[in-house]
Copies of this chain bind each other. A is one copy, B any other.
Amino acid sequence: MNIYDIAKQAGVSIATVSRVLNGSPNVRPKTKQKVLDIMEKADYTPNIFARGLGLNSIKMIGVLCTDVADIYYAKAVSILENALKQNGFDALLCCTGNELNDKKKYLDLLLAKRVDAIILIGSPFKEKLDNSHIQQVAQKVPVIIINGFLPFDNTYCITCDELDAMYQNVSSLLEKSHKEILYLYDVDTYSGIQKIDGYKQAFNDHTLLADPRLIVKVPKDIAAITTQVTKLLQDFPSISAVVTSEDILAIGALKAITALGYLVPEDIPIIGFNNSLLCECTSPTLTSVDNGVDILCTNAVSLLVDVFTGKSVANKTTISSKLIERESFKL
């Protein structure tokens, strides 16, 4: 069933059918209705490929992240997908994993599928050299980066001020006389670097020295973290607070701390990051930074729509984060 069949049945030309299809005003209402009726009866769906061939667009956005199984990316993807759909776009999902080559490969796959734009959740490319690849992609379609930053043409970044969030957290701890603050992080992405910088700046601005041995990279695995933090607490008994780049890391720390008989937050307060569902699961519940992933994502989509409609769009937008106080730390 194609446009010719519909045209024939309706006794009009395919041009008219096409006009009806595309909501052109230049169709007599009666004609339009007749065509619509026939389409309805025939359960006709226009062929997206033919349409794509002509328009060179299929209203589809590539969404790329390392792994949707991750609770944070999952939330982002969920919000993106909904916002995209509301604007008439579908989401083509790519989970790249952490291999740089895979990331490049998936980017090419997305391009080959002729997506109208690409949204990167997190800036997956950290090394300087590799970013040229993103730059190339941006020459073909707009690239939106959520929680990452690259100063390229046709690349639009929307980030949360995580540096400041971490700065505030560490500052308040320092001001409460916590001088030995363990910092746990997992990745060296743009976002990861922001947070670590916030941690360091807080120390600097309080004319204190951050002990580099207390800035520890850990795997994203509760058991492994627990083991590692237990050892750290034994080696550095003066640690009196823990901040993290991810809720899950805070949970690993929490387990180690309580297992050693310390109380949270009385003995050692803990602050997570991302304000995920996990914060509600622990006991005590986890105070955590809400980096506004929902705002980030909805903004990303409206920003994209602006790009498509030719409005001028800032290369970088930043929103602020908010500390959600629960039991593991109070301001």
A residues touching B (Cβ–Cβ < 8 Å)?
45-50, 52-53, 56, 58, 60, 63, 67-71, 73-75, 77-79, 81-82, 85, 90-95, 106, 108-109, 111-114, 222-223, 248, 251, 255, 258, 277-278, 280-283
Contact = CB atoms under 8 A, between A and B. Distances in A.
A104 to B, nearest CB: 14
A58 B49 contact: yes
Contact of A222 (B90, B95, B280): B280
Please indicate which of the listed interface residues A45, A50, A58, A283 has the most CB atoms of chain B within 10 Å of its own CB.
Answer: A283
Contact of A114 (B47, B73, B280): B47
Nearest to A54: B49
B278 A258 contact: no
Please indicate which of the listed interface residues A48, A82, A85, A93 has the most CB atoms of chain B within 10 Å of its own CB.
Answer: A93
Given A48-B112, A68-B68, A90-B109, 13 more contacts: A48-B113, A49-B50, A49-B58, A52-B52, A68-B81, A71-B74, A81-B94, A90-B92, A91-B92, A223-B280, A248-B277, A251-B280, A282-B283
Dominant SS among interface residues on chain A: helix
Nearest to A43: B136
Nearest to A91: B93
Contacts of A277: 71, 248, 278
Contacts of A74: 68-71, 73-74, 77
A77 B93 contact: yes
A111 B49 contact: no
A292 to B, nearest CB: 15
A49 B222 contact: no
Contacts of A282: 281-283
A79 to B, nearest CB: 8
A114 to B, nearest CB: 5
A63 B77 CA distance: 13
A73 B73 CA distance: 12
A5 to B, nearest CB: 16
Contact of A90 (B70, B79, B113, B248): B113
A283 B280 contact: no
Nearest to A281: B281
A109 to B, nearest CB: 7
A81 B63 CA distance: 12
Nearest to A140: B45
Contacts of A113: 48, 58, 60, 90
Contact of A281 (B50, B79, B278): B278
Nearest to A247: B281
